[in-house]
Amino acid sequence: MGDHDRAKGVTRRSFLATVGAGAAGVAALGQAAAATGTPPAAEASDMLQVTLAVNGRRHRLLVEPRWTLAFVLREKLGLSGTKVGCERGECGACTVLIDGQARYSCLLLAVEVEGHEVTTVEGLMRGEELGPVQQAFAEHDGFQCGYCTPGQIMAAEGLLRANPAPSRQEIRLGMSGNICRCGAYAHIVEAVAKAAALRRGGV
């Protein structure tokens, strides 16, 4: 670098130091956004208006095209029963029902479910009364830490809507897409079997 540049107070060392500090700041902001689970804000012109049918209610809201259903349920509609785990369709914590079928909400864009009926774990309640699957999970200790439980319950609900009287093997297969890191699988199978009996009017 020549004398003319030094006269202006710019040196190679100061330039590189400034660029490095700026890059570090951008990286820190990106990490902070990732840690909070909140994507950076988009311009208003990039937002889309959608109407989502969730738990029997219709919600009109503006969403970014890239927002997942899990994000919108939790952060925009306040339905925090849907948990966020791996965010890559492997753990099942975010399972909800779409038109009665169990789906991972972390793999669905909110705009994709417009025109479909979404049911979350909150939607299984009858006022303050637990639904059959929720009741069975409580009675049979189908949870330990509880983080995976909403997804487990929604997977069970989807299974029982498709097959009201599953065998133990069918229950294991139907629940295999949901991970319980505490290892409460035996209790979960018993809970689903009890839920099937409750839904059929048994005890």
So what's the pLDDT on residue 201?
82
- 14: in domain: no
So what's the pLDDT on residue 39?
58
* Domain total of the chain: 1
- Enter the pTM of the model: 0.77
Helices (H), the chain: 3-7, 12-36, 69-71, 132-139, 149-162, 168-174, 185-199
- 145: in domain: yes
Amino acid type, 82: T
For residue 79, CA distances in Å to 5, 111, 113, 150, 183 come to 58, 17, 16, 11, 26
- 11: in domain: no
- What residues have CB less than 8 Å from 11, skipping those under 6 apart? 1, 5
So what's the pLDDT on residue 4?
46
Q: State the residue range of the domain holding 130.
A: 46-199
CA 14 to CA 164: how far, in whole Å? 70
So what's the pLDDT on residue 93?
97
CATH number, position 91: 3.10.20.30
Whether 187 contacts 141, CB under 8 Å: yes
CA 170 to CA 150: how far, in whole Å? 20
Whether 142 contacts 149, CB under 8 Å: yes
* Gyration radius from the chain CA atoms: 24
So what's the pLDDT on residue 20?
52
- 4: in domain: no
- 65: in domain: yes
Nearest C-alpha neighbor of 111 from the set 71, 83, 141? 71
So what's the pLDDT on residue 166?
97
- 153: in domain: yes
- 86: in domain: yes
For residue 102, CA distances in Å to 11, 21, 174 come to 60, 46, 10
pLDDT in tens, the chain (203 residues): 444 444 445 455 554 454 454 445 445 545 545 555 555 666 666 899 999 999 999 999 999 999 999 999 999 999 999 999 999 999 999 999 999 999 999 999 999 999 999 999 999 998 889 999 999 999 999 999 999 999 999 999 999 999 999 999 999 999 999 999 999 999 999 999 999 999 888 66
